[in-house]
Structure 1
């Protein structure tokens, strides 16, 4: 057996290649994304029309919103971003299950009385609620079972205001499956015909810890991302994992073997837009991620945010690329050539609001190619247009 690397000249966008994928999405390429949050959900909804084989490794470190309530009550990984990505990739054709989609995306009222919310949960678990009644068997019984398990495990005084029903179902399944996420995510992926693979990058109750350039430490994703509290005024110097949200207890996580195989089998690896530290770099922290990326010779693409990101205070484009590479080298070693971790940076410089630019010398020194093409439509500005972004990525496979 001879190991060879075959390269080709790519046209971006490549309409003929994209049309071919669109005609047979079940045979589409294995594009892998390291992401979290909602930044990639719009693109994921479009992506399913070109490939049913995309892979999404999602951060389970969210420490805000309704996920925080579940984490505090049960000591579990965050599941909100996993549920959100499952729904973004759920079959939206007539063959899908819109009634399950409606249930998973439904939230309980934020201002309802606790007794009313408890009655609603009881009705859902007992199969006596309209949202449950619309679901055919055996999915109805399975869903009710997971909700019932959550209801029985729910601590007294648990705050149900604004709770996502999908999160409660996944939490019940997690508790009912010996505190493992994979079985319940796999099960509900099948129930709603998820067109792709969604997995947590690790399955542990860990949190994010950021050390700022002035030496201060910020604990918890919700304090880093700038969405629930004021954005950080000082740049982040380092991101780590912690066993606690309120006191820094350094821990290391190890990439699951199944996730390693998914990275190994990807035909394109994407470092996508989104919260730079808490969504992208957080996924790269577990031991083994950088090595798995390096071992795969497929194209590797970084897509910077086209508008200011609260987590990227003081960072220009060159600094973003450097931090991305430095984070990966924590696993593969400082001497690893950049070209084994990153091939392309994909931007729309004419329409995007990027901080600074990538000089020719900077790119040449690292062996990285800049692809500057139309990715933003006037209707979506300053955000990427999902179709244009999908088309550009598919053209590289």
Structure 2
């Protein structure tokens, strides 16, 4: 699709395209998202109405919450955001699926004794827990196998408080499949009939790092996002992947071939709402992402977050675009035109017109202000965004 067609269609959803997608979502467009966290989950749920073919490349670098406990115990990538997106895309209407959904979404209590929590997991492994007995065979056996793999290798001092059962199942599958995420993600997708494809951008056990304008370097996503510790108090100037100690050259973290193929198949590429660096830019850091995006001649849209993003301190809209373009240009080459990596910025009318004009002036990328916000200015109208993205195909 040419840029002029994208510009025309970006103004309002094409009702005919949307109606066609809604009547046959199994034939819906292949919209690829570079994302992480929960900001896109609402839009993902609405998108199931129009397409079963969306593709989600998710950051596995979270170092906070229950993901941090699993990472420390098993030296593995973070799986919380992957599980969250799988649940957002699951078909909750199919007979028997709600029971699996309930299990995968269940969290252990935050304040129960460790012995009691350990015993609860033991009942699940034995098939005696009500959340397990509610699930029909053979799915029940498949789930118990993954939980047993987890239980067989879990350290004695593992902290079960607030643990997500879905995360424990993913961890068990990871450990039982040669420390690879893809097989267990595929299995879980089939268990809950996921309406799309969910993959980690890479399977590596890595961390996110940033340099700040005041010269400090921070490594660890939980120290960047402002959710568990105080947000960064200086502008982020550089984002990188780390082994936990030092910055890694992007060539050390190549994009897997299977994920490159997803980009090559995309009808629309979207940089969606979410924390600027830890949810969006993090997925663009592996070697090969920029080249794959530049080679695909389809609409490539940035939907900036609404409200306050602690990671975007000191960034106006043009700066946010620059942060996304930076790793893509490093990979694709500095002579790559920005419009080969991002064809449009589409934002809510709460962004001032001057911000949109600045994007075009600095990067040559058209920017559109649409009435896409919900009643709260901190989030988008989820169905409106889903319809808009479908209409870009």
Distance of aligned partners of 1:249 and 1:339 in 2 relative to their CA distance in 1, 3 Å threshold: closer
Name the CA distance, whole Å, in 2 between partners of 1:354 and 1:182: 42
Distance of aligned partners of 1:373 and 1:255 in 2 relative to their CA distance in 1, 3 Å threshold: same
RMSD: 1.6
| 1:181-220 matched pairs, under 5 angstroms | 181-220=181-220
Conservation of the 8 A alpha-carbon contact between 2:351 and 2:369: no
Name the CA distance, whole Å, in 2 between partners of 1:355 and 1:231: 28
In the TM superposition, residue 354 of structure 1 has moved relative to its aligned partner by 6.7
Conservation of the 8 A alpha-carbon contact between 1:363 and 1:369: yes
Q: Which residue of 2 aligns with 1:82?
A: 82
Give the paired residue count: 388
Q: Which residue of 2 aligns with 1:375?
A: 372
Q: Which residue of 1 aligns with 2:383?
A: 387
In the TM superposition, residue 308 of structure 1 has moved relative to its aligned partner by 1.1
In the TM superposition, residue 322 of structure 1 has moved relative to its aligned partner by 1.7
Distance of aligned partners of 1:263 and 1:231 in 2 relative to their CA distance in 1, 3 Å threshold: same
In the TM superposition, residue 225 of structure 1 has moved relative to its aligned partner by 0.4
In the TM superposition, residue 271 of structure 1 has moved relative to its aligned partner by 0.4
Distance of aligned partners of 1:123 and 1:59 in 2 relative to their CA distance in 1, 3 Å threshold: same
Distance of aligned partners of 1:353 and 1:338 in 2 relative to their CA distance in 1, 3 Å threshold: closer
| 1:238-317 matched pairs, under 5 angstroms | 238-244=238-244, 247-251=245-249, 252-317=252-317
Distance of aligned partners of 1:344 and 1:96 in 2 relative to their CA distance in 1, 3 Å threshold: farther
In the TM superposition, residue 17 of structure 1 has moved relative to its aligned partner by 1.4
Conservation of the 8 A alpha-carbon contact between 1:90 and 1:96: no
Give the 3-state SS of the residue equivalent to 2:392 in structure 1: coil
Name the CA distance, whole Å, in 2 between partners of 1:285 and 1:197: 20
| 1:320-359 matched pairs, under 5 angstroms | 320-349=320-349, 352=350, 357-359=355-357
Name the CA distance, whole Å, in 2 between partners of 1:356 and 1:64: 37
Name the CA distance, whole Å, in 1 between partners of 2:162 and 2:352: 35
In the TM superposition, residue 391 of structure 1 has moved relative to its aligned partner by 1.3
Q: Which residue of 2 aligns with 1:176?
A: 176
In the TM superposition, residue 77 of structure 1 has moved relative to its aligned partner by 0.4
TM-score, normalization: structure 2? 0.95
Name the CA distance, whole Å, in 2 between partners of 1:75 and 1:288: 25
Conservation of the 8 A alpha-carbon contact between 1:239 and 1:277: yes
More helix by share: 2
Distance of aligned partners of 1:110 and 1:28 in 2 relative to their CA distance in 1, 3 Å threshold: same
Name the CA distance, whole Å, in 2 between partners of 1:94 and 1:228: 37
Name the CA distance, whole Å, in 1 between partners of 2:248 and 2:361: 37
Name the CA distance, whole Å, in 2 between partners of 1:199 and 1:356: 37
Q: Which residue of 2 aligns with 1:30?
A: 30
In the TM superposition, residue 334 of structure 1 has moved relative to its aligned partner by 1.3
